Amino acid sequence: MLEARVQTAGSFAAAAKPLEDVSGVPTPRRYWAVLAIWLAVAMSVLDSSIANIALPTIARDLGASAASSIWVINAYQIAITISLLPIAMLGDIAGHRRVYMVGLSVFAIASIGCVLSQTLGELAVARFAQGFGAAGVMAINGALVRFTYPRSMLGRGIGYNALVVAVSSAAGPTIAAAILSVASWRWLFAVNVPLGLLSLVIGYRCLPLTPRSGNRFDIYSALLNAVTFGAIFLAASDVAHSTLSLLTIAEVAVAVAAGVMLVRRSRGQVAPLVPLDLLRLPILRLSYATSSLSFAAMMMAGVSLPFILQERFGFDRVETGLLMTPLPLGVAVAAPIAGRLVERFPAGLLGGIGLGLLAVGLAGLALLHPGAGAIVLVLATAVCGIGFGLFQTPNNRTMLGLAPAERSGAAAGMLATARLVGQTAGALLVALLFHRAGPSSVIPLWVAAVLALAAAGVSIRRLSAVQ
């Protein structure tokens, strides 16, 4: 049986024990390990949201057009997209803490590159490197959470992580606005450096030393993965911006061909980059599907709602920001509670209830008359956040907790990939619907509600799924 090496309070344990018996990092060191994880997660979430807010300012300062400035975002997203699964595999091979530390280091160094950039091209390159660092945090974070908390506390640990993500997401626009009111946009990236260094120092001393699988890194599969997801991203971007051409068709063809080759190669491997071994488990397969559908619904709401609030209801930008805040706050309230509930009730049931609430909230927003008061909007938005928070923590616990311990990195990578697939699909659907019906249309909210209902049905199916 594969054995784990778990770091104790003052040293690494000499005696190994089965992975199934790993009981997490002992206190008080666990609290410091959790702090290191939270700092890294908050930093990556804040960086994504504040970069979006600062994009017009960056474009003006660097003399770039609005269209070309989008590459500040795209470069970051492409790097994450193509590297999540390879980095997750690397975590299983080299140890999750080691890969996590490298990811944090790359993120901090690339942030310095962003600060020093003098042209849009230099900034895009720095953001591309920063995306690889962020992927090192996102792909490994779930595995480290699994080894940091005892199995009996895994649900609440994941819930606390979701709380940090939600609060960081809600605070991002405010923090960005505060920094931009007194300093250059470069300080938005500069703040990552001290946060990254602090997380590195604490993490090096306190994060658990996780086992290594002993497998070899599959470079060929990693390249096929990069080609597949990179081509998908570029094709989706073409569709979203209504720039369909022969190049778009070529991108789709390349994505399909590379994807087929990748899956065929993975079939004959014990620990493949595309975790087909995890996908063969019905409950995990259903959990990934639930995750992608639900994140697609949330992305559709998050992208379309600001336009609807301004174009249809007549609110200004400040009012829109305030009316959107109950969404992440609802997640922040519900996620830790769900982390405790999942220790007593099935994740499929909690997810079904939560996603049902999300569907109700989305449908409620779609039904509201333009003259509806702000209080009604706040309540409907809060219901969406609470419903999603009630679903997310139990679902993440299932995806991390039911995978074999020696495949924790692959499980964390699939968790992040399922989320990214759903978010990309949701953004693409909104772009298509806005192109057809206009930015004031509530059709995206109705489609999001249908996706949430479908996700609720898939979640309920897990109650009878074989583990």
d(CA 67, CA 243): 13
Indicate if the pLDDT at residue 20 is higher than 60: no
Q: What is the pLDDT of residues 382-426, one digit of tens each?
A: 999 999 999 988 998 888 888 877 787 788 888 888 888 888 788
Burial 282-302 (b: 16+ CB within 10 A, else e): ebbebbbbbbbbbbbbbbbbb
pLDDT of residue 427: 78
Amino acid at position 374, single letter: A
**Which run of H or E residues covers position 18?**
strand 17-18
| Residue of 382, 181, 414, 179 whose CA lies nearest to 291 | 414
d(CA 452, CA 359): 5
d(CA 295, CA 381): 16
- Contact between 337 and 343 under an 8 Å Cβ cutoff? The reply is no
Q: Any alpha helices (H) in 152-241, and if so which ranges? A: 154-182, 186-190, 192-206, 219-240
DSSP 114-154: HHH--SHHHHHHHHHHHHHHHHHHHHHHHHHHHHHS-GGGH
CATH number of 23-206: 1.20.1250.20
Amino acid at position 314, single letter: G
| Residue of 114, 132, 137, 135 whose CA lies nearest to 199 | 137
DSSP 301-330: HHHHHHHHHHHTS---HHHHHHHHTHHHHH
- Contact between 196 and 104 under an 8 Å Cβ cutoff? The reply is yes
d(CA 326, CA 166): 10
Q: Are strands 17-18 and 3-4 parallel, antiparallel or unpaired?
A: antiparallel
Q: For 371, which DSSP code?
A: T
**Mean pLDDT, to the nearest integer, of 418-442?**
81
pTM above 0.95, yes or no: no
pLDDT band of residue 241 (cuts 50, 70, 90) is low
Indicate if the pLDDT at residue 263 is higher than 50: yes
Tell me what percent of the residues of the chain surpass a pLDDT of 70.
92
Long-range contacts of 461-464 (CB under 8 A, 24+ apart): 461/286, 461/348, 462/283, 462/286, 462/287, 462/290, 462/346, 462/347, 462/348, 462/351, 462/398, 463/346, 463/348, 463/349
Domain-wise residue ranges, the chain: 23-206, 219-268, 274-461
CATH number of 274-461: 1.20.1250.20
- Is the Cα torsion angle 156, 324, 426, 42 positive or negative in sign? negative
**Mean pLDDT, to the nearest integer, of 129-150?**
88
Written as six digits, the tokens of 406 are 């020696």
Would you tell me how many other CB atoms lie within 10 Å of the CB of residue 10? 6
The SS3 assignment for 7 reads strand
- Contact between 64 and 120 under an 8 Å Cβ cutoff? The reply is yes
End-to-end CA separation in angstroms for the chain? 20
d(CA 149, CA 34): 9
pLDDT band of residue 106 (cuts 50, 70, 90) is very high
pLDDT of residue 467: 54
Domains 23-206 and 274-461 in one fold: yes
Q: What is the pLDDT of residues 49-70, one digit of tens each?
A: 777 667 778 888 888 776 677 7
Would you tell me how many other CB atoms lie within 10 Å of the CB of residue 17? 14
Indicate if the pLDDT at residue 19 is higher than 60: no
